[in-house]
Structure 1
Amino acid sequence: MAEPSANREIAMSLAFIPPGLPPNEAIQRMLVQRVDELRLSRGMIIGTSDARERIFVAHGYRDGISNDPVKRDTIFEIGSITKLFTALLLADMAQRGEVGLDEPVAHLLPSEVSVPTRNGRDITLCDLATHRSGLPKRPTNLQPRDPDDPYAHYTASELYEFLGEHELSSTPGDAYRYSNVGAGLLGHALARRAGARDYETLLRDRILVPLAMNDTVIGLPPHLEQRLASPHDSSLEAIPLWNLNVLAGAGALRSTAVDMLIFVEALGDAQSPIGSMVSPIVTPREQGGLGLGAPHPNGGITIAHSGRTGGTRSHIRYIPEWERGIVVLSNSNVDAVVDLGVHILDTRCSPLWFRKEAAVDSAVFTRLIGRYQISPRRVLEVTNSDGRLFVRHTGEAIRLFPSSEWQYFYRAINAQITNAQITFEPGDDGRAARLILHENGSDRIAVRVA
């Protein structure tokens, strides 16, 4: 019989053995369910990589018009995964002595640009990469010409104007606050310091070309446009691509499952062209790094990032100790990718459960339309447009999907409204007299006022 200490050592070693990946057939069933049965996407693809092989499993179509299936070389918007590339560029330029992690971003901008400070603290490049700059999620002077492509016409001049007028809500370096404008500013500033024509040129020179990621771009040439997965909203209606202009470093990249798996593998390969860039981004901030690696339950770290545009979702994840990585791409804005990535890499983590839309005659929506008072200062407005039911929360109209004639649910568009539901209750006249909002484990009643 083994000694107790030996048993503990065996148990600890077993804890670090990763569970096996699901068989391809199981992954295929997950995609069929999400695309065909639950209608969470037009098309999805998953790529996995471990020490033995790469595997790609796809289901669905590039768009709602053609019969072109999603394939390993289909082009998707990858949204905020771009931020990970921007952080790698910062690490690379710091290692080359071109910038300092703690260098104020103001040093990389035209001298006439005023960058906000607070309590005598400048915004540094590290602050921008780690979302601790104190800048908001979006620039406050953003006035989209097209709400479906909000950043397309936002210029460097407008960015500089925003910086000159904005007052920080927190001292740089103190508090985490996710910021697209901060990440975009970082990419713009790095390109200026490097003397590159633009962010894409710098990225191509330092990362994309060395890794032979030939199908990863910002500007779409015609031969790649033919392989593009059209973005879709939660109703699976086609919507425009996003163009981020001066804020490209926050989320402008388009890529394929093949290229993203190349990138994921390179994150774990110290000998890869980007191998030396990875260590600074996962080293804890208190040790002089960016601290972008998350602790893994079995020890070590996980490198992961998700992306969202108006009509796509993406997720990459790599566990260095397991030499295992994954990429999940979807051409709708419903968040149905992150849980798959987590589950497939580690089957001990269960995927999310999604509700299935019921077939309900849109004529019943008439009795639900109205305004419902949920708090003294907050009214929920329920509307019907083209046979679809919507609720307006804080300015954004969100579609409601029926599970019955009186019960509805939200698609998982973001973490705040994931799995939220609304139950309407009828009054004496047959119309809904009130609704109950089931959200984040609580039930809130809103009474009809109009």
Structure 2
Amino acid sequence: MTHLSPIQSSPSGSIQAELLEKLRSKQALIGIVGLGYVGLPLSLTYAEVGYRVLGLDIDQTKADAINQGSSYIQHIDGERVALAQRQQLLEATTDFSRVAESDALILCVPTPLNQYREPDLSYIRDTMAALLPYLRPGQVLSLESTTYPGTTEEELRPLIEQRGFTVGEDIFLVYSPEREDPGNARFNTANIPKVMGGSTAACGVVGVALYEQAISEVVAVSSTRAAEMTKLLENIHRAVNIGLMNELKPLADRMGIDLYEVIRAAATKPFGFVPYYPGPGLGGHCIPIDPFYLTWKAREFGMHTRFIELAGEINSAMPAYVIEKTMDALNDLGKPLKGSKVLVLGIAYKKNVDDMRESPSVEVMELLRAKGAEVHYSDPFFASFPPMRKHTFALRSVDLTQETLAAFDAVVLATDHDAFDYELIASHSQLLIDTRGRLTPGAQIVRA
């Protein structure tokens, strides 16, 4: 199904008509730039409906893995990659000169924040610098990276025009935000509706043709700015509501009320309420980062986004709250945090995935270490602590047994993977700090 915006045009010009025919007949070569948590599943989605796909990445190990028919992302079945390889529909390379072969280029690169919580567009700019020498008439370029409204028009379009191309006639430029939810068994790249906005009306028509064969529903909006704002709204909505729950969490605790029980009860209302849950902080590439893209852009218009900033402050303070609860619980047992052995369960940012981007669990580990605790972790998705830009722990995952659990002064459940044996954990931990509301509070189980 495709929802078209009021701004729409019919195919015009031989370049656009030829590209539309290639896209609609699946004769187009789809170039996916960036083969991470967004780019790899998108590549497979296109290959699985019959397109030839060329994956481009600066990481040779990713290209090698794909060309060998294996997956490097836990929740993506390697057999999907192997099948696409056997059908000769998927190839990966680090050679960006092959951009010229592609009829479509979809950019799936990171958009982090810098140390001042300002947008870092270096990945987009570096990628465009690598693509520009090889662009040609008859290509569609789609940016999927989450960013502030105006990025496509202010950053990408001028670069394309400086090459002498006319956007909407020679090159077709669109913005379509990724909506991946790693580990979600119900929704995937193919069945999550795709929001898309074109730089011109002609670009919008091509953008629909790019996505409608591979995605079940395309929602076309009037501009790239509207599409960029849509993605930010989705994540701001979640960040603010999670922030509300995290603000209520300490209050409910002091009042002797189980907030998780209250949320579950409120969720029985069939209208007007959507359940959100507190936790040890926000993780992933989207919710802790994306709202600040709009906060930054709002300053250009002389406005302050107070709800967004307040939610950010509350959510960022949650790891410290977990440490406070851990210290208090240890004190009740006559033990100081300094010198205590603490095991953190789960270092991924959400359960059942091998993704550590912006994980609050790692922030909890850093704070524990800074307080003098001896910190260890257990996570079925990470046998050893992987290299990270901001965090370094020379650790291997602890196997959970009766003996290992009993050897720790405190166990902090930070990410509630389903693979954990919760009966074992609850029965043999001297002290268990539950940040996810997974277990029933008791003599040695404390909610945080």
TM-score of the aligned structures, taking structure 2 as reference length = 0.30
Greater helix share, 1 or 2?
2
Q: TM-score, normalised by structure 1?
A: 0.30
Structure with bigger strand share is: 1
